[in-house]
Every structure is written in structure tokens, then in C-alpha cells.
Structure 1
């Protein structure tokens, strides 16, 4: 029992024993003196003894207080920080020795130990880094493939939890609240098609049929996004364990098949309409033809009527064929890939295609601009036109200019000379552009782009071939496309071995899914009308920060932001004027934090703002909550500093420059602090969420008691 007592309690008991022992000895000495002197000295001895005993107790208490303040507390702080340094595995952690100034060489020695440990860790990390450089290079190659792969890639365990996704999955399935490591796959896609495909291929593996099956351990799958927005098509493939004896998970590759499937259905409908629509006029024409050619010699009036029927049906048939041909061309055209591209890029590619004609100079003229086209086929067509123009006119220089005008971008091939007649370039349109592409011609490219070309004079001595194309779909100048993370850091293969979790309280801290969040507000009093102006969060999974899974929104508070608050977080009324209000933002944050532990620094403050909005948004923030202030108090004692700045300095964590007191920067640093606290908590026996909640409750009780004094 005594082994579990804290150092301060033991020292207090030691001084109490010294005081009480001294008082007992003092009283014994006075009794002995009274026996020798006689009864007449008893009142004097009692008075002197009382004063001396009280003085002894006061002196003992005073010395204990000094010892506690200058020795016991600093020793506990040093031990806590040494533990944190040892367990947090940070090479940048710094040991504060300010309060250990009366401990002699102990403070500098502890700081030296921490520095030496940091140096040893740095050396060890360098050795480890050198040893795994080759692995990291292979990992980087894999990440580059995943990042640039234009198919959505998801790897899941058998509980259908996501353990890897690439940038295309993030783009296709949702950047905000839905996709995330450890989160259910079936929040993103419809469940039954994927389950059916998984059951099929698992049964194939169990029966051993995969060894001879042409698809081995994969199967085609068609599903949809949960909101029904997209139809997805791809393959599901099993992941086996190292021995190849058991299924560990599966890989799901998907692409957007909404338009191709719709086009296929439209073609089927078109074919059905063609068969049904052509049957009647064809039968009428056949019947009329049989009557006229059957030797029945109808009279002139009947013959005229039959000729009229045949003419009318022929015209009906011609109109229907024209309409069906047009509809078919629309479907055929719609299957081509169209992308935004710059004019300079088109010129550079066309120049490469004409590398075998060194005598022809191809130059870009005018300013660059963006346009929308199938760049491959357009480049091939421009290269063909340049070859033919050079061959027909003998010119050695052709300029390509792109000019936005009237809802089009006019791509002009300009040369010195006279315009070409239509009969001159008409044959070019029917020549195949590239071998192996089913005879693709320039006319096909024009049809695909719904455009045409013509030649005209430009100035007194120049001519051009003009090609109108569509402008770019996106605004690449004033509103550049938002960037996805440069590499897919969103993976965690430890989830591959994870099985269905029991009670959440029993989940180890190292396996928790957390959302660490922070708010910036108009003031400090939520119950008095202060409102949130910014909320941000970042996910922590399996003890590491998933920086690619973040939430960061400004909120219109519906009231003015005091200047004093703006001085702290830098958010002004103008910055939130066009932002959504809490009714729109907080449900999205609730989705982002679903099934996770909420973590904050001084959590009651931030959580109060959320709880006051539960009635407004119709949702409850009933997640388990951890507070890094309370966890720090448990580890380092209530006498240490537990501000976010102090914890960040203790663990060697830096704030992004100029972003202190922004919600996302504070949430990110709090997340890093949490990851440093978890191994220290584990070393102190706090291993599960339930343990962490219990010690947090103890810390709350202690702080409440301290507040009374």
C-alpha cells in the first residue's frame, strides 16, 4: 500500500513524524524536569513547554513547506518530464530545470540525461533512416503510382474499414467528412453489390477454384455512391496473408461509369427505337412495291395513291434515319475524353510530331490561353494540317495562335501567302491521322468537337486556317484548381489485422480513432451569447496524425466580432461575411467526428459551444471526450504548466509560423501533443480509453478541491 504513495505524501508523513516525535521528546523532557524540580515548577514548565512545542510544530511545518516547494515538487516535475522524454520518443523534447534550482546538480544532470537521450535517439534515427532508404524509395514509387492513378483505389480489411485510399478516391468519393482511415466503406458506396462480389470471390478462394480461374482472386463489381450521384464500375480483389492461407482484406478499384453506362443504355434504346420505328414504313414500302410489281395493273388513280404512299413512307424513313444518325453521332461523340489544355502545350506537342520536318518552323504567336478539347486528336490534326500547308505552299514557317472570342477559342494556323480553297484542304479531312486508331480522320475530330475549319486572308500578305474550339471548363487564371495532398499519406496497414472491437472503453489508446479539434470564438462566454467563428479538426488514428484528413471552416457568427477577439485569432467581420452559419457547418463537423473520440485542449470550453447548438442542428455531440489538459495534469502533476504552448515546448513541437490561435494550427499541435502523451500514459499504466477517462475524472476532482483553497 505504502509503495503507491506519492513522493510528496511520503515527505509530508516524514516531517509529521519528525514534528510529532520532537513534540513527544520535548514533553518527556519537561515531565522529567518537573519531577526533579518539584510541583511548584509545573505551571512554568507547562507554559514553556506549550510555547516550545507550538514553536517546534510551526518550525517543522514551515521547513516542510519549503522542502515541498523547493525539493519534492521539483523532483516530481523532473521525474514526470524525464518519463515523458523517455516515453514520448521525441528528439526535440526539452527538459525545463527552472524549478530545480535548489536541487544542486540534480537538475543539470537530468537535463544532461535528456539531451544525451535526444542525441542517442537522433543517432539511432539516422541509422534507421539509412537502413530503410531503399524501402522508402520503393514506398515513394508506390505512392506516386497511387497518387497519379486515375482510378479510385481503396484497400479494406474484412470489417470493411478503409486502410488505404488514394487521391483519386478522395476526389471521387468526397474530400470532407465521409472518406477516412478506419471508417466504414459503406458510408461511401452501396453495400449489397460489394458484399455480393466479396462473397463470390471468397467462396472461390475457399473452394480452391481460384487456382484455375481466369480472374484468379478478383471479380467485377458495379455499385454506386451512397447519395446515388455516381455509378461506379471496377474490380474487387482479395488480399491474402503472408502464407496465402487466409483472407486479410480486399482491394477495390473503381472508376466513374455514370456516363458510359448511361450512353450504353441510350444506345440500347436507340437500337430498339430504330427496329420498331423502321418496321412499319419498311412494311408499307414492301407491300406497295409488291402490288405495283405484281402484274395487277391498277388504274391510274390507284397507282398514283400507291406512289404517294411510297413517297411519304420514304420521306418518313429518311427523316427517321437522319434523326437516328444524329442521335448516334451524339452518343459517339460523347464518349471522347475532353480536357482543359493550354495553347502553348498544343504547340509544343505538335512541334514534337513534326520533328521529322526540320525545314518547317512551328511557332506560337500571341498570348497563351486555356481551351477544352481532346488534346491528342487535336494535336494530330494540327500536325497533319501543318504538313499539308507546307507541302501545298512551300512555306518554311507556320505560326499557331489561340484567341478567345465570342464564346470560342479560335486556333489559327498562319502562314505567309494566299488562302487555300476549300477544294484544297477538303481531301485532308478524310486521311487517317494515326495508324491503329480505327482509321480516325480529321473529319472525325471536327465532328467530335462540333466544329469546322475554313481558310481566309489575314492582312495583305498572310493567310490562316481557322479552327474554333470550346473555351476551358475551369477558370485556371483567377480560380486555380484546389490541390489535393501531394502524396497519399492516408494509409494505415495495421488496420489490416484489426477485428471487430469490443466496448469502446476497452480500446487501447494506441488504436483509438480520434478527432482533435479547436474553435475560435467571438468571446469567452458561450452561455452569454458568444459564437463560434472558426472550427477545425484533424484525425488521429493508431497513434499518428492523419494530416490529409482535416476539417477547417469559417462560420458566420451572426454578430460582430469584438476587436479584442480579432487581435487574438485574426478573424474579422469581413472574413466571415459570406461564410455559412453554424446550422450549415456543424452538421458537417458532426459527420467528420462520427464514431471518433473528441479531443481538445481545455475541452469543456470548446464542447460547450457545440452543445449549445445541438438543438439548432438536431444532432448531439455525445462522443467520448478527452482533454489534453487533464492528461497532462495526471502525468506531470497539478503544479506544472499545462498550457498548449508549455506542452508544445515540452515535447519540442512547433506551431506553423504565424498561425498560433488559428483553429486548425492549434488542433494540429494538440494532435501532435496527444500522440506524444499516449506512450507516456501507457508507461504509467493508462492503456485504454477507459483508463484515460478515469484519470481525467481524478484530475478534475483534484482541481476542484484545489479551487476551494
Structure 2
């Protein structure tokens, strides 16, 4: 059978339908004829019609099940693999088992995938050379900044942070959680910044001023220097630098933000214009109404890229004994959480980390239920928009597929080391990488704005609660 073409296989379904329907009608007429001898012609015709109707419905259902199992579902799975290969640049070999009844369609799809792989290899070599060049430039920039004994922050014309170095990260950490694309006003007093910007615009030259923390408790001697495009460089002199002059000074930056303003979640905004906070939790159990969080892991995504260095990997003291069965899964023990902050402190820190962002999680209702239960203790409101990678998977691959995190990693080519599975940061990292690879797939289906994606996920509301 496997050597036959797809057209011939579909033809056979119709042949079976015709032959089966004929057989059903003939058998029904035979029974009706025998019934008419005993009870009259009318009774016989009624019996024949009834048997024919039930027989034809059953035959149609059976043939449809065979067609769905052997033709429709494999074609849908094959299409999903090709979309992943085309838009997410993930090599996904065509399964011979899945395509065994699709005739030449499977080998043809594999041939297209192989051709794409060869083209991708050529492109990858060019990208590799360009990446090496950019890496050298980054090393030069880092070496240059290492010689400058100040903390440095670049801010665009919309007062969003575009770049900060390692020393600036230490300064920002005293005032909040360091975040790329965050408003500079989340860290420093608006009055101090406004007065300094006014002087900067009047003079067009570097100005010195005292930068006050937003609470007024911290004060830093700072300088503001104008940049092309309306932004400025903020340099902060510390009396006791946290990094030595010769120490490595990592950079966190995205220069694309120089031409972009704030990206508050809006239904009309493009997906890539939004900032995302991807998180996961480990808990004492699976009951959000009474179990507690023992670990929070989170990352940020800006401009469709995971921001290196902006992570939360926080143990949380649950205020109760962690069951041995739970520790066996996530490897967090009572000894590890001794001295760790409680959920009120840890949750408030994650809330600040996610400020102005769309929250992303795998099976978000579970994790969010723990956070929302303690919202009053944290002194926050969890009103961030939320995307769930389970629902996004259903949108992209259909409800017949498996939507576990492991299945998504396998489908989208995300490698998750076994030692990191079932750790909060490890699962958050995997979810973030999966989500980044989903973005081009969503756009390829015409779902380019946040509102369009939310509307589409609501069609799969039977899978999970709508968190928006």
C-alpha cells in the first residue's frame, strides 16, 4: 500500500465509500424484503430505509476516521513542520512514520527541507563572519568602557534605557531591578532629571547635577551628555566604585531602542514591539490555593531577543516544610530556602522586574494563581497582560498535538539540559527560547499584533483559563 500515490489513496476512499454504500443499501433491502413478506410492503420499506440510513452514517463515520487518521492529520503535522522550518529556522526532519500514507508528499517535503538547509548553511557562514566582526567591535567597546571609571547609561529620546554597563547595573540595583527599555524615571527622581535635561537642551553641552533616587534616599553625582537623535548619556560618579578600574565591564544594550519609544502593551502594537517577562515557579505542590512557591526564575525579552544578564533566579522561603516528593522533582530543599526572602519580598521583586511588560509563562494560570493569592501581602496588583505558550502552541500546531514544555522544545529545536529541567530558571529559559521561536510563526499566520494573538488564543479557551 505504501508505494501507491496520494491521489490513488484518496481515490480508494471514494471507492470504499461507493462499494460500502451499495452493500449497505442491498443488505437493508434484503432485510426489508423479508419483513414485507410477514408485515406488508410498507413495513418492509420503512425497515430498509432505517437500516440504510444508520448503515450509511456509520460507514461515512468510519471512512472519515480512517481519512482523518491516515491523511488529514499527517498532512497537518507535515505542514506544521514545514512552517517551523521556514519561519523559525529550525531543522525538523519529516517523520517517515507520520508520512507513510502520503505517497510522494513526504519525500517531496523532505527534499524542500534539505534544500532550505543547504541555503541556510550558506547564509549561516555569512552570518558567522558578520557575528565575529560584531563580537570584535563589542570587545573593543567593552575595553574602552573599562578605562572609564564611571557608571554609564544611554537613554533614548523617550527616556527609555538603551544601554547600561556593569557598574551602572550596580547603581540601578540600588534603586530597583535593572531593566533594558525601562523608563529612567523608574530609578531616578523625575524632578532632578527634568531640570538637568532642560539645562542640557539650553546649552547643548554636558551638564553636571545631583541625581536623586526616586525615593530621595540615594544621591549620586552625575553628568548628562547629549547624543544625536535627542537621547543622552548619563554618567554617574561613585565615591566607592563597585567595580575596580581594571575589572571586566559587561554591557547590556539594544541600539535599536534608540529609535523607539516606550512599548506599553496595546492590542494594536506589533508583537516584536512589546517587552516580555518570561517566568516559571517551583512549588511545594500542585494546589495553588494552599501550596507555596519555593523558587522563581525569570528572563526579559526586548525586540524579540532574550536580554543577557537580566534574570531572576530567586529561592523563596515558603514558611512551611517542603515535601520530599516535591524536592525530588525540583531539588529545592528546606536547607536551601533557610534565610531566603518570603513570597511577599520575592513576588514584589518579580513584579518590578515585569513592570511595563507582557508576562509569558507555560501554563500561566497555575503560576499566576500563586502570585495573585499573595498580591495583598506583596502590595501589588497583577494587571500585566499575559501570554501562555500552551495556548500559542495550540494556535500554531492545532489542538491534536501535545503542548507540554518538553514537546515544544523538541518541536522547535530548543535544547534543555536535563539538570536544568524542573528548575525555575531552567524552565523559564526554555519557555523564553520557545516563545522567541514562536514569534515568526505567529507572524507568518498573519497574527502580527498583540490583540490578534489574544483573540486567536481565546478560541482555545477550553484548554486553559483566559488570563487577560
Q: Do the two structures share a fold, i.e. TM-score over 0.5? A: yes
Shift of residue 81, structure 1, vs aligned partner? 2.4
Cα distance change, pair 645–522 in 1 and its aligned pair in 2 (3 A): same
Q: Is the 8 A contact 1:93 1:118 kept in 2?
A: no
- For 2:353, the equivalent position in structure 1 comes to 592
Say yes or no: does 1:491 pair with 2:222.
no
Describe the SS at the equivalent of 1:123: helix
Say yes or no: does 1:221 pair with 2:209.
yes
Cα distance change, pair 339–511 in 1 and its aligned pair in 2 (3 A): closer
Shift of residue 232, structure 1, vs aligned partner? 2.2
Describe the SS at the equivalent of 1:100: coil
- For 2:158, the equivalent position in structure 1 comes to 159
- For 1:369, the equivalent position in structure 2 comes to none
Distance (Å, rounded) in 1 between the aligned partners of 2:283 and 2:426: 15
- For 1:601, the equivalent position in structure 2 comes to 362
Shift of residue 695, structure 1, vs aligned partner? 1.4
Instruction: Answer with 1 or 2: which has the greater Rg.
Output: 1
Cα distance change, pair 94–145 in 1 and its aligned pair in 2 (3 A): farther
Shift of residue 201, structure 1, vs aligned partner? 2.8
Distance (Å, rounded) in 1 between the aligned partners of 2:242 and 2:321: 47
Shift of residue 43, structure 1, vs aligned partner? 4.3
Distance (Å, rounded) in 2 between the aligned partners of 1:604 and 1:676: 22
Q: Deviations over 1:549-588 (max 9, x none)?
A: 1111111112221121111111111111222221221111
Say yes or no: does 1:251 pair with 2:233.
yes
- For 2:127, the equivalent position in structure 1 comes to 128
Q: Is the 8 A contact 2:265 2:358 kept in 1?
A: no
Say yes or no: does 1:79 pair with 2:79.
yes
Shift of residue 204, structure 1, vs aligned partner? 4.0
- For 2:89, the equivalent position in structure 1 comes to 89
Shift of residue 169, structure 1, vs aligned partner? 0.3
Describe the SS at the equivalent of 1:154: strand
Shift of residue 152, structure 1, vs aligned partner? 1.0
Q: How does 1:199-598 map to 2 (within 5 A)?
A: 199-204=198-203, 217-240=205-228, 247-257=229-239, 487-488=250-251, 490-499=252-261, 504-527=266-289, 529-598=290-359
Distance (Å, rounded) in 2 between the aligned partners of 1:703 and 1:572: 30
- For 2:7, the equivalent position in structure 1 comes to none
Cα distance change, pair 125–703 in 1 and its aligned pair in 2 (3 A): same
Q: Deviations over 1:422-466 (max 9, x none)?
A: xxxxxxxxxxxxxxxxxxxxxxxxxxxxxxxxxxxxxxxxxxxxx
Q: Deviations over 1:459-514 (max 9, x none)?
A: xxxxxxxxxxxxxxxxxxxxxxxx98x732x2111111113557622221101111
Q: How does 1:20-39 map to 2 (within 5 A)?
A: none
Distance (Å, rounded) in 1 between the aligned partners of 2:404 and 2:437: 15
Distance (Å, rounded) in 2 between the aligned partners of 1:149 and 1:163: 19
Distance (Å, rounded) in 2 between the aligned partners of 1:690 and 1:152: 39
Which TM-score applies when normalising by structure 2? 0.85
Say yes or no: does 1:619 pair with 2:386.
no
Shift of residue 175, structure 1, vs aligned partner? 7.3
Distance (Å, rounded) in 2 between the aligned partners of 1:175 and 1:338: 12
Q: Is the 8 A contact 1:96 1:111 kept in 2?
A: no
Cα distance change, pair 500–532 in 1 and its aligned pair in 2 (3 A): closer
Number of residue pairs matched by the alignment? 443
Shift of residue 648, structure 1, vs aligned partner? 0.9
Which TM-score applies when normalising by structure 1? 0.57
Match of 2:455 among 694, 699, 703: 694
Q: Is the 8 A contact 2:282 2:423 kept in 1?
A: yes
Cα distance change, pair 59–147 in 1 and its aligned pair in 2 (3 A): farther
Cα distance change, pair 117–487 in 1 and its aligned pair in 2 (3 A): farther
Distance (Å, rounded) in 2 between the aligned partners of 1:597 and 1:96: 36
Describe the SS at the equivalent of 1:594: coil
Cα distance change, pair 184–106 in 1 and its aligned pair in 2 (3 A): same
Distance (Å, rounded) in 2 between the aligned partners of 1:136 and 1:691: 37
Q: Unaligned 5+ residue runs, structure 1? A: 1-10, 206-216, 241-246, 260-336, 341-482, 705-709
Distance (Å, rounded) in 2 between the aligned partners of 1:156 and 1:74: 51
Match of 2:396 among 615, 632, 635: 635
Cα distance change, pair 104–611 in 1 and its aligned pair in 2 (3 A): same
- For 2:5, the equivalent position in structure 1 comes to none
Distance (Å, rounded) in 2 between the aligned partners of 1:88 and 1:148: 40
Q: Is the 8 A contact 1:147 1:168 kept in 2?
A: no
Shift of residue 192, structure 1, vs aligned partner? 2.5
